[in-house]
Amino acid sequence: VATYSSMYVTMNARALMNFLSLRTSREGSHFPSYPQREIEMVAEKMEAEFARLMPLTHGAFEKSGRIAP
């Protein structure tokens, strides 16, 4: 038996950066995070779109140690 879920999320860039800082585990982040794998997989896909759509903002997020302003 397989379960399928879908969702629709809206948030601004600052809220997305906060979500990503809490829900992804990355080397070099200022505050380490240890999320459950399932939510980390969702966050990784969201971050890929964030980097594609807002490369300068994503770059600043990475440069600042993955801390939302």
What local confidence, expressed as pLDDT, does residue 26 receive?
85
Please report which confidence band the pLDDT of residue 2 belongs to, taking 50, 70 and 90 as the band edges: confident
Catalytic residue among 14, 23, 52, 66: 23
Q: Is the dihedral of CA 44, 48, 49, 55 positive or negative?
A: positive
pLDDT (tens digit per residue) in 12-59:
999 999 999 999 998 878 888 899 999 999 999 999 999 999 999 999
- Domain chopping of the chain, boundaries: 13-63
Is the pLDDT reported for residue 1 higher than 80?
Answer: no
Task: For residue 25, count other CB atoms closer than 10 A to its CB.
Answer: 13
Active-site annotation holds for 23: yes
CA dist 45 and 54 (Å) reads 14
Give CB contacts under 8 A, 24+ apart, made by 11-14: 13/50, 13/54, 13/57, 14/68, 14/69
What local confidence, expressed as pLDDT, does residue 51 receive?
98
What local confidence, expressed as pLDDT, does residue 15 receive?
96
